[in-house]
Amino acid sequence: MFENMDEAGLLGEMSCARRDERVAVARRLLAAGRLCQLRMAGLGAEDRFQWCVDNWEAVAAEVGAELGVSRGRASSEMNYGVELLERLPRLAAAFAAGEVDFRVIAVAVFRTGLISDGDTLAGIDASLAAGAPRWNALSRARVAELVDWRVRNADPAAVRVARGVDADRRVGFGPTRDGMTEFWGSLRAPDAVVLDRRLDQLAAAVCRTDPRTRAQQRADALVALSAGRAVLNCECDSADCPARDADAGPGQIVIHLLAEAGTVAGDSDAPGYLPGHGAIPAEAVRDYASRARLRPLARAGELRAESHYRPSVALAAFIRARDLSCRFPGCDKPAEVCDIDHTIPHSLGGPTHPGNLALLCRLHHLLKTFWTGENGWQEKQFSDGVILWTSPSGRLYTTTPDGALFFPQLGEPTERLDIAIAETEPTRGRGLLMPTRRRSRASERMTRIAWERGINEKRWAADPPPF
């Protein structure tokens, strides 16, 4: 591609590509912001601002589907676009011209978010537009310092103050390889000491001939705690060891691991699949199977339409295994937090059948149910579980069952459905059933800004400059 370019030409190509990248990101964010503005202006139903799935969420669903990203990421990009268009237009122009990296824009948008006076904000905007093109090589921390310096001089109460470290405590999990998962986090120091010593106690309770290392014993001790057990079972070879089978009953937490029957029986080395964590080696699958409850799944062709609204245990298990996650475009909420939804509503004649059922997370279930009609979302499900979505703008998106990507037999076509659909479904008064917010999104934002500014004002009143 670059065979005929000299070194100077390659450097110039890199510079042009960086500018083009900035321009492309700016186009996407500003377009998302402008779409949000248009939709908000075109929505006349003020009561929807109090809906749990409000106007903003409805636009975020459409943006996420178009970009193939999650609702949260779509909402974030919409927010950047709106903030740039409405609060920092001069900085937005520099961004659109390819002069500023998005990482600088992200810092500037967040750290000016508490400024409420229009004239003050306009002055900050002009200052940022002039200075930001020179900040692309700086660290995020230094960019934050430069933005905060301008904000502090113009409006001290609008300076963002870091939260206390106590508010940042968390625990996270992420898959690594070969069926293993790493976790990380931060705890209050006393709580961490208690956990550390408790793991040592459990690990020390096994006999000396336990084959595991101390590190492995501590890891297994944490698993025992999560299962609600008071002791760690010893893995020695002695039948007389008192800690070998102590308190080995199952805990109250249920997880679902998918595997082929041949893998469980030992006739195949095909890996199993743990949703959210990936492949599990066949040997580990057989080990878990020896200690777990096995639930064979029916094949799609074996399942028939059921007369009642709620699917049977067998049908529900098949749908959750086939889909694995929410079927709305761009959403990957796991099956355990999703509802089983009728593609063609049951009230319109839609059968309780694998060819008419799919997983939707609660938010997208509400979106489909209440943001419907001529200008709402429409869906069509095919016999192999593929769903064709039509957005309010007429755009088409296709989603495929995740389970069928790992186990193709889950995507086998079902029997053909001949559904007599009722002409219409009553929509008058439907909005009364939508869960509502205590305050609108705009009111929440104003309240949060006032709260943060109030904390700053009290701090400076107690310790006025010079500090």
Query: Which positions ≥6 away from 25 have C-beta within 8 Å?
Result: 102
On the 0-12 / 13-18 / 19+ scale of CB atoms within 10 A, 155 is buried
SS (H, E, C) 262-275: HHHHCCCCCCEEEC
The DSSP secondary-structure symbol of 353 reads S
Q: What residue type is assigned to position 84 of the chain?
A: L
- By C-alpha distance, which of 27, 75, 67, 73 is closest to 395? 67
Q: What is the pLDDT of residues 316-338, one digit of tens each?
A: 999 999 999 999 999 999 998 99
Query: Which positions ≥6 away from 6 have C-beta within 8 Å?
Result: none
Both tokens of 377, joined, read 């979302």
353: number of CA atoms within 13 Å, CB side? 24
Averaged pLDDT, groups of 10, the chain, 467 residues long = 85 93 97 91 64 86 93 94 96 97 96 94 96 95 94 92 73 82 83 84 85 89 84 82 61 77 91 87 88 87 89 94 94 92 89 94 91 82 93 93 92 79 57 73 87 85 69
| pLDDT for the residue numbered 464 | 72
| pLDDT for the residue numbered 195 | 87
Sheet holding 396-399, edge to edge: 378-381, 387-390, 396-399
Long-range contacts, stretch 223-226, CB < 8 angstroms, 24+ apart: 225/198, 225/199, 226/251, 226/253
CB 327 within 8 A of CB 368: no
pTM: 0.77
| pLDDT for the residue numbered 467 | 53
C-alpha 211/C-alpha 213 separation (Å) is 7
466 cis-preceded (ω within 30 degrees of 0): yes
Query: Which positions ≥6 away from 8 have C-beta within 8 Å?
Result: none
Question: Which ranges constitute the DSSP H helices of 188-338?
Answer: 189-204, 214-226, 261-265, 282-289, 313-323
Q: What residue type is assigned to position 454 of the chain?
A: G
| pLDDT for the residue numbered 63 | 94
| pLDDT for the residue numbered 466 | 63
